[in-house]
Amino acid sequence: MKRRIENPRIVLLDCSLEYKKGESQTSLEFSGEPDFT
């Protein structure tokens, strides 16, 4: 997986939608993905 994200807006929208749903665990797991680090 590429280290540089070409479309960060998609990631931000995905995180925002998950956060609004109240899925705290999903946000933590997504942030903890080593591929995005």
Amino acid occupying residue 13: L
Separation of alpha carbons 33 and 35, rounded Å: 5
Neighbours of 18 (CB within 10 A): 16
DSSP string computed for 1-37 = --SS-S-HHHHHHHHHHHHHHT-HHHHHHHHT-TTT-
The span from the CA of 21 to the CA of 34, in Å, is 24
pLDDT digits (tens, 9 = 90+) for 1-37: 567 766 666 655 655 555 555 555 555 555 555 555 4
Cβ–Cβ < 8 Å for 26, 32: no
pLDDT for position 9: 61
